[in-house]
Structure 1
Amino acid sequence: MELILSICLIASPGTCREEPVSVGFERPPAPFQCMMDAPVRIAEWSETHPKWKVTKWRCSAPGVAGRDI
């Protein structure tokens, strides 16, 4: 399971992309656990990427995201 972040550069809001963040839950209820863990993971990611702003997020199967938007 991956947490897919839609992120945009703070200095250039038109520059956006999706960023996959592995949450590593392999057994059910993975989607539910991903959703419950998301706020903490998003906060951790945001602290280490101060030039980016998370605009939305979703949980997904691995390998589904990572594209420019």
Structure 2
Amino acid sequence: MLALVTAASSAATAIVYLAHKGNVRANWLAICQQLDSFCERTSGSLVGSFGAMVLLILLILLSAMALARR
């Protein structure tokens, strides 16, 4: 699950970066100037996905510690 969340977060980060900066070579314009609410929502979802990554890492560490005690 951690690998899936990490892959999804990385893909979402790439899309948000393109939304903020654009890409001149591919002729993709930055859309954050026109769609402020979209960029706010996607940035908020990135914070949530990286928070889920941290939570999963903590759960894995807690599980490892519980198994090591036995």
Q: TM-score, normalised by structure 2?
A: 0.29
When Rg is computed on C-alpha atoms for both structures, the one with the higher figure is: 2
| More helix, by proportion | 2
Larger relative contact order, structure 1 or 2 (CA cutoff 8 Å, min sep 6): 1
- Whichever structure has more strand as a proportion of its residues is 1
